[in-house]
Chain A
Amino acid sequence: MTSTFTGIELGKRSIIAHSQGLNVTGQNMANASVEGYSRQVIAMKASDPLYFPGLNSEVTAGQIGQGVDIAEIRRVSDMQLTSRIISSTHERGYWSTRSDYILRAEQIYNEPSNLSIRKKMDEFWDAWNDLAAFPDQAPQRIAVVSAGENLTSSINNRFSELKNLRDDADLEIRDTVDQINSYMKNIAALNNEIIRVKNTGNNPNDLLDRRDLLAEKLGELIHITVDDKDPDEFNIHMGGFQLVQGDKVALFEKATDIENSGYTRVVWAKSPEESVDVMGGKLGSLLDLRDIDFRGEIQKLDTMTVNFTDMVNSIHNTAYDLKGETGRNFFVEHPYVNNINGNYDSNGDGEFDQSRIFSITGANSLEPEAQIGIAGSLTLSSSRDENIVINYYATDTVKDLISRINHSETEVFARLDYQGRLSLKAGSAENMSNPDFVIRHVEDSGYFLTTYSGILQNSGAEGAFDWQNVDAVSQLRQEDTAFSVAPTNNPSAWLKVNQDLARDSSRVAAGFGTNGRPAASKEGDAAIAIASIMNSDVALGKSRSFQDHMAETIASIGERGRAAELTLNTVSENIAQLRSTRENLVGVNLDEEITQMLKFQHGYMAASRIITQFDKMLDTVINRMGV
């Protein structure tokens, strides 16, 4: 037999369940605009009925229900979808960062405009052209110096701006590493908290939301995947590495990379000698930007500067000024290897251990269209770790071989100078452990570099020029071969017009003179030779001329910017789709919640009415039966 107050108990349970339902609805409505919030639903179930089958069960019709209980309050979520979002956001982090930074680089290039280096360089060539017309006139001389100063100032500024980009990226790398560590620590702490709550039999809905949100934010910074196959252990991986395992976390650390201009190297906190192989995300993007894109841009600028300087100086210091003096450079660079033979102490032990030579020019004038008539193979330092071999054949013309050298993977480039002499120049080094603009190895099994062009004394390995030898220039043909030492730092940062010329423009050398005699004052052949560098074949890396080099540089940065923006749009669209799908599943819909609110409100009222009816019924029995 049921209790007298069974009905009241039943009503009470209903009131509790519905008021809890109202609480959940209130919670959903209150958090409707909270980032990462997943709506919660209350699951109700009928209370266990009276009676369960048994000897002591009352013989009565059917089972008597006892009202409603709350089964659980759970959040609505789709872990598979959330995992997909987390593992996709790294792309947005990568491309968004890349797009923003590349845009800054694009703005540095200032093209097409009248403020670019290209324009300043045009003005520099123009000034030399004007000087060629009036070599004895002071205004044209002053204009050449002034155009040179404007150009060097633009080059210095561009270097600073590009370096600032590297510096900014590095600063952000440091911040991002801190952020990553912070997220990972928080996730690990949440993992711990979640397990504790679960152990009490509750659903840690808000903590789970918080963890998903943090994982998503972490996913923007690095490419991670999450794994919660084990309900007691939430894991985060990057590539093959486990970053978070439950409450354990593998933190990153910041180290200084000496080989990379002292910038930050991301290492494992537990083993600082081991670099983290960062994949994707904002951090991956920043590292790529700093170490590939912007380092490459600075190398391009340096390549242009060092070649430009070398070519202008090589003409200028063989020409005569108005005072009849020669041997003066137009541009000066600091710092450069301060040894006449390019000997260099790389490890600072007080002993020379390397030869750092930027360019070597042979003694003989060559005809570009002439067939070499001899066969052999050149061994030159390359972008790969080992040297590469370039064969030449008797039927090759000088031009063919130069082209073959310049289109190989070598980091040594060849050209004929204004006197037709073969000039070998070092390019920038792909590998950070190699210095830029240093010829590392030159060897010829035949006679092209020896008797034909007059660079090396002897053929074969024993006659090779190698930078790891001190006094390596002794392998060159001593009397006639010219060489220049390498810069020890970024040439574009230090390039200046020789102050001797700035103080006295009559020091500008405009004519070559004749037979060792100083040039006549109206002789402008050297000025013409300098002005014609503009369109000359300069073998600037793979570029043919300075103009090509600049055009390729801006096209390249523009293309990268465009690719970054397009990819970002695509990636953002994909992620927006995923988020939209999740949002529509887990997001709060106020109409729905209000409907729920009405439902719970009416349920509450109905339960109250039941209690009231039982109250009235008991009132009749207790107070009105007149017992």
Chain B
Amino acid sequence: MNGRISTNMPRWNIQSSLMDQGVQKNNAQEKLNSNTRILNLRDDPVGAAMAMKYSSKSNRIDQFVRNIDNFKAVNTEAESELFNILDMLQTTRDLAVRGANTPTSHGAMQEMAAEVNGLLNQILVAANHVDQNGNAIFSGNVARDKAFTFVEANVPGGSSQMIVGIEYVGDNASNLLEIADRQYLEYSFDGSRLFWAENHQIASDRDARAFRLDVDSSILINGETIDLKAGDSIYSINEKINNSGLTVEASIDQITGGLTLTSRVPQKLWLEDVEGGSVLSDLGIIDSRRRPPYNIAESSQQTDTSVFDSVIFLRDQFLQNDIEAIGSRGIDLLDKSINTITSALTFVGSNSNIANLAQQKLDFDKINVENEISRQVGLDIAKGITDLQNINDAYQTTLKTAGKVLQPTLLDYLR
């Protein structure tokens, strides 16, 4: 306890207190004005860092929601067109069943052929549906106004030129969109998978049993790389293909000794050697001068039937009045086509469900994240007002105390 107080001491103390309280008052007011409890990082460094992370997360959720919206817009269009195609295939099948089972005149068969041809055109229009940017939605990642082009020619029994072949001009690469952290949805539609009725099989006529690789190389099947090593025989190449996890099976024809590749699901196979390599080319599977998927070596035999091929086949049988072919191969191909489109719809619908579920979760996450941001940086208004009032009270008290403490000196009482 000091026995002596200098005259200036209480003044300095009060001055210092008033300055401190002024700063505190200003901070409390600023916090109320900006509705935040963190004016500077030092107010709560960990809270600020957490809030920063949550703000980023909130931003990311918004991006995921935007991705989902983009995805759904395209997916809904694809779903709608696939339903449309399915309806048309069902109608085509009805015609096929009627044509195969009901005795029908040649004229009526011609009319049915014309109707099937009309349906073929409509299916093609649906398969070439374009999005708001004018790009075909079933062309994979290729931006063009068509996924499929066609070739017209005279058909036996037909009176005018008709579509005789359809070529896929898109690609098989899949585009992904991130809909949640490290969760992706396929955003592009590969026409060579969605519109293929039968498994694709390619059988080389070149005897490969003595084949052995000289140098390391790689082959690409459906865009996936399979690495091969120098010294690999055809059997080890087969094994690598079969163990690759791809939907393709390799085998050696017991008679010709040629390599046979068969897709495990209905789709068109995309085969090529890696740049600089020549394995598939040497095995007589592909012609390296052309690009996939239309690069299968002419010497190879392949079965390759698309949904369009199945309808074209049916139309041609109607035109040729071949009831037996309609009832057997025709209906069989249509059933496979319907299965293919149904599978595609299942895939699209399943993705749609995944997107909806992801969106629900994101909505829930967004609320939590916003709450967390609010908890980290938001000001409790009641507390803010109370704090300000407390500081104000202290300030007023200091001022009043100053009046007492800085009382007159003895000088005031002397004459």
Q: Which of chain A's residues have a CB closer than 8 A to the CB of B5? A: 584, 589
Contact (Cβ within 8 A) B48 A111: yes
The verdict on A541 contacting chain B, using a C-beta distance below 8 Å, is no
Contact (Cβ within 8 A) A520 B6: no
Q: Cβ of A67 < 8 Å from any Cβ of B? A: no
Closest-CB distance, B131 to chain A (whole angstroms)? 10
The 8 A CB mask of B168-206 against A (1 = contact, 0 = none) is 000101011110011010011000000000000000000
Say yes or no: A119-B55 contact (C-beta < 8 A), given A561-B40, A561-B41: yes
Chain A residues with a Cβ closer than 8 Å to the other chain, count = 71
Q: Are B66 and A130 in contact (CB under 8 A)?
A: yes
How far apart are the CA atoms of A132 and B275 in the complex, in Å? 26
The answer to whether B220 touches A514 (Cβ under 8 A) is: yes
Q: Which of A382-412 contact B (CB under 8 A)?
A: none
Chain B residues 117-153 with CB under 8 Å of chain A are: 133, 135, 139-143
CB atoms of A590 and B409 under 8 A apart: yes
Q: B216 to chain A: closest CB distance in Å?
A: 12
Nearest residue (CB) in B for A528 is B176
A495 at the interface (CB under 8 A from B): no
Residue interface bits B217-243, CB-to-A below 8 A is 1, else 0 = 000100100000000000000000000
Structural contact, B173 and A525, CB atoms closer than 8 A: yes
Closest CB in chain B relative to A86 CB, distance in Å: 19
29 A-B residue contacts at CB 8 Å?
Answer: A107-B40, A112-B36, A112-B48, A112-B51, A112-B377, A119-B55, A132-B176, A133-B187, A514-B171, A514-B173, A515-B274, A516-B275, A520-B171, A522-B135, A523-B141, A551-B49, A555-B41, A555-B46, A555-B49, A558-B41, A558-B42, A558-B48, A561-B40, A580-B9, A581-B2, A585-B4, A586-B6, A587-B8, A590-B7
B306 in contact (CB, < 8 A): no
- CB < 8 Å neighbour of B53 from A511, A515, A547: A547
Contact between chains at A111 and B41 (CB < 8 Å): yes
A121-129, A204-212, A424-432 - the one binding chain B:
A121-129
| Beta-carbon contact of A552 and B177 below 8 Å | no
Partner of A133, one of B51, B55, B67, B135: B67
B414 contacts across to A, CB distance below 8 A: 594
Say whether B56 faces chain A, with CB atoms less than 8 Å apart: yes
Structural contact, B178 and A528, CB atoms closer than 8 A: yes
Partner of B178, one of A532, A557, A559, A581: A532
Alpha-carbon gap, A121 to B188, bound state (A)? 27
Would you list the 5 A-B pairs with minimal beta carbon distance, nearest first?
A587-B6, A558-B45, A558-B41, A561-B42, A555-B49
Q: A525-B175, A561-B45 are in contact. Are A584 and B4 (CB under 8 A)?
A: yes
**Interface membership of B401, Cβ < 8 A:** no
Chain A hits for B220, CB < 8 A: 514-515
Instruction: Give every chain A residue within 8 A of B376 (Cβ-Cβ).
Output: 112
CA–CA, A119 to B52, complex, Å? 9
A559 and B409 contact, CB distance less than 8 A:
no
CA distance A535 to B71 in the complex (A): 22
Q: Taking the complex as formed, is B210 at the interface, i.e. its CB lies under 8 A from any CB of chain A?
A: no
Which of B62, B71, B143, B377 is close to A522, meaning CB atoms less than 8 Å apart?
B143
A562 touches B48 (CB 8 A): no
The distance from the CB of B18 to the nearest CB of chain A, in whole angstroms, is 15
Q: Which residues of A contact B178 (CB under 8 A)?
A: 129, 132, 528, 531-532
A554 CB-CB contact with B under 8 Å: yes
Query: Does B366 make an interface contact (CB < 8 A)?
Result: no
**A-side contacts of B36, CB under 8 Å:** 112
- A566 CB, nearest partner CB in chain B, Å: 9
Asked if B410 is at the interface of the complex by the 8 Å CB criterion, the answer is yes
Residue of B whose beta carbon sits closest to that of A556 = B45
